[in-house]
Amino acid sequence: MEETSVCSECGGRIVVAPSGERVCSCCGLVYPQDNLEFLGYVERYHGDVDPETFLPMSVRGQNPLGTLIGLPGKFLFTDASGRRLNPRLQALFRKLKILHEYSPGLTKLEGRRRALRLLRKVVGILKLTPEICQDAMRIYDQLLNSMPSTSYVILAATSLLLACRIKGSKAPVTLQEVAETLHVLGHRVAPRTIVKMAALAISRGIVNAPSMRRSEDYVDKMVKQLAESPMLLLRMSKAGVRSNGYLNELKKTALQLLAKAPERAKSGKNPYTLAASAIYAADRVLAQRSGREPVITQALLSKTLKIAEYTLREHWVKIFSQTAAELAEDR
């Protein structure tokens, strides 16, 4: 944070937070700001509208609260130690929370500002490109103008999911990852709610239906996740397997297995779990070719990629075992 001046309320330092807001480091009071980055977004995508109308209310001379108070929809407040506040403070913070969350000041424009900030945080956590955030905001604008009035959090989550689906393998993010990231940020949105909103948007023609996610889209991301597993690195070291060459071969072999596996056997299977099973089978192929024990176990894969072990076993037996045996013989 960068120090700028002194708070007029408590005399504390006013600092610039990572989010770009100017806040008091002692009492948390949020001060007006130019918010040039947000104005740049307005000028790019809403050039026919006065950009000043998009600014936060505090910049336009009004004085709304600028900080979230607890989780959305929760009205039981505790201090930093987790102790419940006394009745007087409970009543005070309840009133402030209601004013903040349900006041008429939370217009579509204010909701858009909050959605933009939320999307940037989610994109950062999921390590996606800024382009995905821009695409999600374009979809958000389309949904906001055409869909039933709903929470900006749900619209933002739906927009991000659709943007990732449209990008395909360039943004291999699952629905569960989007929901879990929102949960970490204090927003509890059920995955089925996001799916329902996305299906409604597609059925009404608000956005074009993205292509179905393929198992191949997940392989590269999964191999990178495995490369960060200390357990896998240890097992590779004991087996005398070199990291870079092995991981490249693992990815290549998994893609070959997915291409050679019978379409009828793959039909109706979750593409994410199918990709993980292909990686498990690929390791067994490489192990057989090298005359060593496999380095990827079902338990390791299950823990790293959050997939049930019985699913890996079922896919191995019913889909990949025969294909893997044939591929292992083709050196």
- From first to last of its 331 residues, the chain has per-residue pLDDT tens of 444 478 877 888 888 766 556 788 888 887 765 444 444 444 454 444 444 444 444 444 444 445 567 766 677 888 878 888 899 888 888 887 766 655 444 566 777 888 888 999 999 999 888 899 999 999 998 888 877 567 888 899 999 999 988 887 777 888 888 999 998 888 888 888 898 888 888 888 888 877 667 888 889 889 988 988 899 989 998 888 887 789 999 999 999 999 999 888 888 788 889 999 999 999 999 999 988 999 999 999 999 988 899 999 999 999 999 999 988 887 6
Give CA–CA dist 43/244, Å, rounded: 45
Which alpha helices (H) appear in 170-270, and where do they start and end? 175-184, 191-203, 216-227, 230-239, 243-260, 263-266
Quick one: which of 12, 42, 47 has its CA closest to 29? 12
CATH fold match for the domains 108-203 and 216-329: yes
Q: Strand 30-31 vs strand 2-6: parallel, antiparallel, or unpaired? A: unpaired
DSSP 3-state of 28: coil
Give CA–CA dist 128/135, Å, rounded: 12
Rg (CA), the chain: 25
3-state DSSP: the chain helix, strand, coil percent, rounded to 5?
A: 60, 5, 35
pLDDT of residue 18: 61
CB neighbourhood size of 215 (10 A): 23
Q: Does domain 216-329 have CATH number 1.10.472.10?
A: yes
User: Where do the domains of the chain lie?
Assistant: 108-203, 216-329
User: Which homologous superfamily does the CATH classification assign to the domain defined by 108-203?
Assistant: Cyclin-like (1.10.472.10)
